[in-house]
Chain A
């Protein structure tokens, strides 16, 4: 690979740099002084609101225009708050990042939006095309980049939509590498991935940097993942007029020793640190009555799945010749049997694509089973019928509460308090519980805020509180700890352990072993899907399969 030596690592220089986003009163970053040498690998840490992502976006040259960029800084007081505002200087190789198209490559958090085109090879080529690389060179760069990230085994016309989250992030890395950037910027690249995906991406980044020698700046909560790959940690603090934006700066071990307490307090996942959580009262013998729960007895069967086959797809209609009969979708997982009992935790684990979330949603009465059945006992159904999928929405929320992975999907009002009151108001009871939930999940100061404007941790706490406001006996959570900082993690785990002791059944889909350990109970491990090509198209969507069932 001769072309790799053409990469020239980038230098970053910041002098009193600051940025205020359009329409905000306070700057996201201010007074940043930072020098990053060519080929250095830097992990950026800091509490949320410290401006880490803003800095990365600025380096990638995608921050948009500012009013005061070239204007006289002395007249800064008159700057229009509706416009973004830049102070000081931030340079890559001595020039503003915006003028250096292609010098930096940026990877963001959400894998779905890191893919631009629908065929693997085209997507990798996209950046190189934009930089006007001669077409003859592009395909050799594409092949090399795909090899480097470990996707070289797939055909170039492989559909990008059928890749897993970890593969999509590696594809994004390949797209960046094909641009031959001197600076690689990673903005929480593994926050949405399962543990296997996290390592896949981390190792691919490590291999590529070792080969190209490019400068790296990565933002990530989970220090242990990146600690051995970086040679410097920079801790930022939220912008203020007087203090410097850089709080601590140095080699990883030194920074972690020096600032361990400060970092754990800020919710950073420092290696070897498991946050303190409340212990389960009945943890020692699961199944025994853990606490006194009004109306429920711990261990009582509430909900059961028998020989269940699940899929997100709805039955499709056969063609004219087969009389428009419904054809059941091909299940992603089948033969699942499980029981949900009051005051006990059920943890659902398994590799990507094993249908964990799909099973949980079916159990929660949100998806119809493909075959088999979900049945609620009399204790749970209380006259609503045996099949949760047939319950009305209001009957459902008072019995089974489901917390989705993305909190924003569940927001139905424009104000935190209304969001919490929504369930109780519709049910006509339980409004008195809202205050307790606000207090318990530290949302009291946010009652008038718009749910969409909250931070990630606040959104997560709110989404749990809103579902619990309807007082369900069964709580189902889909990856509740994904992307959460250590503080939110600890709060959530403690709160759920308390709920369990009070007699609520908690079903969680999670990859997080420490989390399921706190909750205790039983684990249901789903197998990897069978009979499917590794690069598999979704079954039932492949034209050939419809004609020949």
Chain B
């Protein structure tokens, strides 16, 4: 978990783009996909995104490893839409209140593909963006307050540390006779106790880290940046890519006649 915060070993082209450009491209795609609930625009966007995986240094296996909760959520959302949406067209399966019709299947599939098409760019972005570079871009280019940005960045490093600490505290408490067994109430109490232990350690660590940062001169109004966050020609291509995917999604849906604005639907 702690290693995943850096991009060591990933030399894919998109790692060289400015994080803000990547972020803007992702926002473009996401916003367009949030407008309509048809399956054509989502499929087109998803196809483009899958084609871009190698550019971000991702493989399908890695994608599953990092994004499986999102993928499962999209599948689940699609499934529940399929069985619960109002039926239209031929009924394919009927199990009392749960039924699948052509119409609901189409809606459910569309929902799932849309979920994937919206989630995938985020996974893609995080896989080819180093948090430190993102912080640099946010502070230098987007002009967010550097104290806030760098404080958050330093705190993120502690999150990985806390995951290890959680495991250790769990073992340490088992060695005191607090087990994660018994009835649900006892388990809840054990988990709450472990969380309290973690909270104490998190506060201790955070205050020590704050002292470290302050002792290194952090907190002044002005600072310089050893890593200059720059935009390059490549970033224009990244933005253009985002624009193209978003545009292609809309155009194909309009051409297929499936474009269906969420806010205007079923008035």
Chain A residue nearest in CB terms to B58: A543
Chain B residues contacting A406 (CB-CB under 8 Å) are 168, 172
Do most interface residues of chain B lie in helix, strand or loop, or is the interface mixed? helix
Q: Which of A101, A157, A397 contacts B217 (CB 8 A)?
A: A101
Q: Which of A129, A157, A546 contacts B224 (CB 8 A)?
A: A129
Question: In the complex, A82 Cα to B46 Cα: how many Å?
Answer: 59
Chain B residue nearest in CB terms to A547: B61
Q: Which of A112, A118, A157, A361 contacts B5 (CB 8 A)?
A: A118
- B208–A394 CB distance below 8 A: no
Contact pattern, B 132-175, Cβ under 8 Å of A = 1, otherwise 0: 10000000000000000000011001001100000111011111
Q: Which of A104, A118, A364, A408 contacts B157 (CB 8 A)?
A: A118
- B215–A106 CB distance below 8 A: yes
Contact A159-B8, Cβ < 8 Å, known A117-B153, A426-B177, A541-B3: yes
- A179–B177 CB distance below 8 A: no
- B225–A135 CB distance below 8 A: yes
Chain A residues contacting B213 (CB-CB under 8 Å) are 116, 126
- A542–B132 CB distance below 8 A: no
- A129–B175 CB distance below 8 A: no
Q: Which of A112, A134, A162, A396 contacts B175 (CB 8 A)?
A: A396
Q: Could you tell me the distance in whole angstroms from the C-beta of B9 to the nearest C-beta in chain A?
A: 7
**Chain B interface category by residue count:** 35 or more
Q: Which of B171, B174, B216 contacts A126 (CB 8 A)?
A: B216
- A129–B226 CB distance below 8 A: yes
Chain A residues contacting B167 (CB-CB under 8 Å) are 312
- A105–B216 CB distance below 8 A: yes
Contact A118-B215, Cβ < 8 Å, known A366-B171, A404-B168: no
Which chain B residues in 164-202 approach chain A with CB under 8 Å?
Answer: 167-169, 171-179, 181, 193, 197, 200-201
Q: Could you tell me the distance in whole angstroms from the C-beta of B224 to the nearest C-beta in chain A?
A: 5
Chain A residues contacting B9 (CB-CB under 8 Å) are 542-544
Which chain A residues in 102-129 approach chain B with CB under 8 Å?
Answer: 102, 104-106, 108, 110, 112-119, 122, 125-129
Which chain A residues in 457-491 approach chain B with CB under 8 Å?
Answer: 466-467, 470
Is A455 on the interface with B (CB-CB < 8 A)?
no
- B224–A135 CB distance below 8 A: yes
Q: Could you tell me the distance in whole angstroms from the C-beta of B219 to the nearest C-beta in chain A?
A: 8
Is A454 on the interface with B (CB-CB < 8 A)?
no
Contact A118-B174, Cβ < 8 Å, known A101-B217, A102-B217, A319-B64: no
Is A257 on the interface with B (CB-CB < 8 A)?
no
- A409–B197 CB distance below 8 A: yes
Q: Which of A60, A126, A133 contacts B218 (CB 8 A)?
A: A126
Is A138 on the interface with B (CB-CB < 8 A)?
yes
Is B96 on the interface with A (CB-CB < 8 A)?
no
- A108–B169 CB distance below 8 A: no
Question: In the complex, A131 Cα to B201 Cα: how many Å?
Answer: 30
Chain A residues contacting B161 (CB-CB under 8 Å) are 112
Q: Could you tell me the distance in whole angstroms from the C-beta of A187 to the nearest C-beta in chain B?
A: 10
Is B232 on the interface with A (CB-CB < 8 A)?
no
- B176–A467 CB distance below 8 A: yes
- B176–A412 CB distance below 8 A: yes
Is B80 on the interface with A (CB-CB < 8 A)?
no
Contact A547-B59, Cβ < 8 Å, known A106-B215, A128-B226, A161-B2: yes
- B132–A60 CB distance below 8 A: no
Chain A residues contacting B193 (CB-CB under 8 Å) are 412
- A179–B217 CB distance below 8 A: yes
Is A25 on the interface with B (CB-CB < 8 A)?
no
Is A77 on the interface with B (CB-CB < 8 A)?
no
Q: Could you tell me the distance in whole angstroms from the C-beta of B48 to the nearest C-beta in chain A?
A: 23
Contact A104-B215, Cβ < 8 Å, known A118-B5, A312-B167, A408-B201: yes
A residues with a Cβ closer than 8 A to B are 57, 60-62, 101-102, 104-106, 108, 110, 112-119, 122, 125-135, 138-139, 142, 157-159, 161-162, 172, 175-176, 179, 312, 319-321, 361, 364, 366-367, 392-394, 396-397, 401-404, 406, 408-412, 422-423, 426-427, 452, 466-467, 470, 537-538, 541-544, 546-547
Q: Which 10 pairs show the lowest CB-CB distances between chains A and B?
A: A393-B179, A130-B217, A127-B216, A409-B172, A113-B208, A106-B215, A402-B175, A125-B226, A397-B177, A161-B2
